[in-house]
């Protein structure tokens, strides 16, 4: 197994922080004075159950893996 460098770890941490920062700022529309310190976002999870974040589940759209399973099951039943 390859060891990951510090640069890789920093990159992944920065990437997750930016994603969570975007969710807080533009989706939840938090004001700047109520935003957390950016470093705390590296460990925390942002659970959002709004319609936009759970689009597939809210509208009953099945995931691709389930569609593939159903297609295989239907194919077996047709034979």
In the predicted structure, residue 64 carries a pLDDT above the cut 90: no
Structure confidence at residue 43 as a pLDDT band (50, 70, 90): confident
Tell me the pTM: 0.56
The string of DSSP codes covering 19-36 is: HHHHIIIIIS---GGGPP
What is the reported pLDDT for 13? 93
In the predicted structure, residue 78 carries a pLDDT above the cut 80: yes
- If DSSP codes are grouped into helix, strand and coil, which group holds residue 62? coil
> 3 near 27, Cβ under 8 Å?
no
């Amino acid at each position: 197994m390859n060891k990951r460098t510090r640069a890789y770890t920093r990159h992944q941490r920065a990437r997750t922080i930016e994603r969570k920062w975007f969710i807080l700022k533009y989706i939840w529309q938090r004001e700047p004075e109520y935003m957390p310190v950016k470093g705390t976002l590296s460990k925390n999870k942002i659970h959002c159950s709004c319609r936009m974040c759970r689009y597939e589940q809210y509208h009953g759209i099945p995931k691709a893996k389930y569609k593939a399973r159903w297609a295989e099951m239907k194919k077996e039943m047709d034979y």
